[in-house]
Amino acid sequence: MTLPTYGAIPRRLVVVVILCLLASPVHALTSVYEVQSGDSLWEIASRFGTSVSTIKQLNKLKSSSIHPGQRLLVGSSIRKIEANNGPYYYASPKSETQKSRGYAESSSRSAREDYNRANRLIQAHLAELRDRFGKAKKRESPLKGWRIMLDPGHGGRDPGAIVSNETGDKEEVHVVEDEYVYDITMRVMERLMLYGAEVQMTVLSPNHLKRDSFLAKETFVNEKNEVYNDEAYNRKADPMVRPGSHNIKRRVMVANRFFKKGRKDKSLFVSLHADNSPQRPRGPLVIYQKKGSRMDKPSRTFAKIMQRALDHRTVPSLIGSRNMAVLRDNRASAEILVEIRNVSSKADAWALRFHEKRQEDADRIVRGVLDYATSR
């Protein structure tokens, strides 16, 4: 798409107009929530930003008693997203750009409150996607029956790599790994769902879904508000429940719980990162688990197929094996970690900053998943 020349039009207006054109129609939607043990109606209502009486009305409940496994309509509407700079924001960061390597915005809320907001946001978004895909013409669902856990690298206390980059006007900007891989993960999730897979993410942002990037100097800000996709874990009033290197195994626990349902041979785990390795060339690197001489064959096959899907004509992708906490003890039938770009290369860090490039990266990852799933 060619962007209109800005001329005298205020650039904010241009951005708003483009966002409106790209945004899918926003409808009121109702998502379905499956009651977990220990839930109360009041808690569910606050989590989804609705009221006990609304839930009772929607489900024609005569009393407030509920039981685990019960499926409840919750009045969570995507219309309620407090968007102030586009339909895909819940709230915007204070700064419109990552000013320096060290800049960070910590959350004013508890992990529990951020989890509730994040869950509300993602549930409303998923309901909207299901609604949209459900209405689409009968299509091929090559990933029907597959359960795929996507793991956006870092987040919370740990932003991952932060590198400096520049705009065409030589203004310095910074690229924060966790914010950009989160965006790519959202894009991968959308496509995999479109192909019929059940998809979840290990980490959630209370503020963002997919974000488009129109202005070169507006880079994603290092927000430290992400939480694990684990309600009970976030109930602890402890800032250490935010993702960090100290609790990396939580990613595996979240994934393994997801894999309890469904067929073991149709479960996949993909961890998404952007590498910062000056000693290797730019481009993707796919890693599968290997501990000593113990190597997981399906994961190696998945990694090889993914590597092929990620290969560009001019930028080859690499493959490697490592013993990694996020892959170890993972119950998926195959699990890999993808370093989608190497941000020690200026060109790769640049590419991450633009949504067209992030969409291409996401599409390649989806290709890899499709090729693996349909090869068996």
Q: How far is the CB of 275 from Zn ion (least distance, A)?
A: 7
**H or E segment at 239?**
none
In the list 155, 159, 160, 283, the residue contacting Zn ion (rule: CB under 5 A) is 160
Q: How far is the CB of 271 from Zn ion (least distance, A)?
A: 9
Tell me whether residue 273 or residue 358 sits nearer to Zn ion (CB atom): 273
According to DSSP, the β-strands at 147-152 and 267-275 are parallel
Q: Which of 359, 288, 354, 283 is nearest to 320 (CA)?
A: 288
Which residue has tokens 């992708």?
317
Tell me whether residue 49 or residue 155 sits nearer to Zn ion (CB atom): 155
Segment contacting Zn ion by CB under 5 A, of 37-45, 66-74, 95-103, 146-154: 146-154
Tell me whether residue 153 or residue 283 sits nearer to Zn ion (CB atom): 153
Tell me whether residue 162 or residue 332 sits nearer to Zn ion (CB atom): 162
Task: Classify burial at 95, counting beta carbons within 10 Å of its beta carbon; exposed 0-12, middle 13-18, buried 19 or more.
Answer: middle
Calpha distance 65→32 (Å, rounded) = 17
Segment contacting Zn ion by CB under 5 A, of 51-59, 158-166, 206-214, 258-266: 158-166
157 binds Zn ion (CB under 5 A): no
Q: How far is the CB of 174 from Zn ion (least distance, A)?
A: 16
Name the closest residue to Zn ion (Cβ).
Answer: 273
Calpha distance 108→114 (Å, rounded) = 9
**H or E segment at 234?**
helix 231-234
| Cβ atoms of residues 176 and 160 within 8 Å | yes
Q: How far is the CB of 150 from Zn ion (least distance, A)?
A: 14
**How long is the chain?**
376
273 binds Zn ion (CB under 5 A): yes
Q: How far is the CB of 273 from Zn ion (least distance, A)?
A: 3
Q: How far is the CB of 284 from Zn ion (least distance, A)?
A: 13
Calpha distance 20→203 (Å, rounded) = 28
According to DSSP, the β-strands at 318-322 and 285-291 are parallel
Which residue type does 203 have? V
- The size of the interface with Zn ion (CB under 5 A), counted in residues, is 3
224 binds Zn ion (CB under 5 A): no
153 binds Zn ion (CB under 5 A): yes
Interface with Zn ion (CB under 5 A): 153, 160, 273
